[in-house]
Structures are given as structure tokens and as C-alpha cells.
Amino acid sequence: MKHIHRFFLSHPINGGQSVVLEEDDAFHAARVLRLKTGAAVELAGADGRVFQGRITAVGGQVEALAGEEEATEAATAELTVVQALPRGRKLDLVVEKLSEIGVTRLSPVYSESSARREPRATGPRLARWRRIARAAAGQSRRALPMQVDVPVEMNAWLNGFAGPVIALATETSAAPLSAALERVSPGLALVVGPEAGFAAAEIDALRAAGAVFASLGSQLLRTETAALVGAAIILNRFGSLG
């Protein structure tokens, strides 16, 4: 069966509606995929509804017509992954894989070790992460792409999040993640520390915020690996994966 490409719109859509693809998607459709007028596509609106569609125009912009609505499964678990910014382009992989497996939101944060090393991750870097998240969501046929937040300081994120928090930390003794999940509900956040580990003040801040500390076992995983493994375990536990 030929793969049908999925494109996301920034607004809700309805059957019979003509839409214009976002600029990046239009470039990908016309220049990379070389889709022609009449090509079958899938169109996902900002409200999570997905429609069969057809390309109706390819030129300065790419237009499509939404047809019949497709049945979609609602996500069963809301999960935010809070990732301390790693070196270089490692976050690109984190964004791609977390969006692919169904994470709701990624909140990059500056930790004490990453803030001094990494340039402020805004502008082009943030735009790139959001493009990667959209592409991965389309490939895995998600109804909505993972949201990627503007990076903030760790304490600012802790002060703004009201749900349950689990922190993966090797700096303190902790129960396995599977056991920690018995104490929390969907709508939680998973905090993953930087390569150099959390500073003592960050551990104290997590404790003060009521975070539950958890472990992925005896193996010492890279920060980007820990994010993916931890998220997969949580999504499996709440029925969204596996």
C-alpha cells in the first residue's frame, strides 16, 4: 500500500474545505515529495481531526481539499518530558523520537550545567525542533504533533507546572520508574537531567516541588536515551504505547 503523507494545519478544518499548506510543508510536498495535483494526502487540523484530502494546486503555494473525516484514536495519556538541554544537536534526536512515540509536550530547560555551555536555544533552533516534531508526528500518523516549548530555566518551569512530577536522577537513591508510576496519574511530567547530572540545588528544588525520584535501573544511560526510555515506559503504563 502506498504511503499517504500527512500534513498539519495550524487551525481546525472541516470536510469540503480548501486549505493552504504551511510554508515548510508546502516546500516538502512540492520540492521533496514532488506531489502533483490530484495526489492523495491526509490533512490534520489543530483540533486533532484528520481528513482524507487531495492536492488541488501546486505553485507559489500548495492547496488541498479536505474530504472524508478519518477515525482517530484519542491519546490516553498526557505526558510532558522536561529535558535539560544537552550538547550540540542531541536534542534533535530527542524531539524526533519523543514526537514519534506520542509524547504530548517537550519542555527544554536550562540546568546549572547546560545554561553556561549552551547558547540560548531560541529562533532558528526552536523552529528546527518544531519542524522535526511535526515531521515525526506525520510519519507516525499522530493526530497532533508534539508541542515544543521555548526553553526556560529549570526553576521557572517548576514554578509554572501544577501536575505530578517524576525526576530521573542518579544523584539520589530512587525506586524503579515502574514503581514510581504507581503513585502518580496521567498528566504528569518526566524530568530528565543533563549529561553532567543535576546540581545539589536542583535536587533540592525538585524535592521542594514534590517531585518523585525514579531510576531506570543499574545501567547509566545517556540523557537522550533516558528521555526516550522513560517516556516509553510511562506511555506503556497508561495505555498509549504497546
Over residues 180-236, the pLDDT tens digits come to: 898 788 789 999 998 888 899 999 999 999 999 999 988 888 999 999 999 999 999
Cα separation, 192 vs 179, in Å, equals 17
Q: Domains in the chain, please, with CATH? A: 5-70 (2.40.240.20), 79-237 (3.40.1280.10)
Residues in the chain, total = 242
What is the per-residue pLDDT for 44?
Answer: 95
C-alpha to C-alpha distance for 205 and 78, rounded to whole angstroms: 23
How many Å apart are CA 174 and CA 200, to the nearest integer?
Answer: 16
End-to-end alpha-carbon separation of the chain, Å? Answer: 24
Alpha carbon distance 29, 18 (integer Å):
16
Give every strand in the sheet of 5-8, ordered side by side.
5-8, 40-44, 50-58, 62-70, 18-20
Q: Is the pLDDT reported for residue 56 higher than 80? A: yes
Checking phi first, is residue 45 left (phi over 0); if not, alpha (psi -120 to 50) or beta? beta
- Average pLDDT of the segment spanning 151-163: 93
Task: Tell me how far apart the alpha carbons of residues 72 and 50 are, in angstroms, rounded to a whole number.
Answer: 7
What is the rounded CA–CA span in Å between residue 126 and residue 142?
21
Coil vs helix vs strand at 191: strand
Res. 76: pLDDT tops 70: no
CA separation for the pair 192, 149 (Å, rounded): 15
**For range 169-178, the mean pLDDT:** 83
Element (H, E) at 233: helix 223-237
| CA 29/CA 2 separation, integer angstroms | 16
DSSP code, position 93: H
Residue of 133, 123, 152 lying closest to 94 (CA atoms)? 133
**Other beta carbons within 10 Å of 23:** 10
pLDDT one-digit tens code per residue, 127-150: 999 999 999 999 898 999 999 999
CA–CA gap between residue 176 and residue 199 (Å, rounded): 21
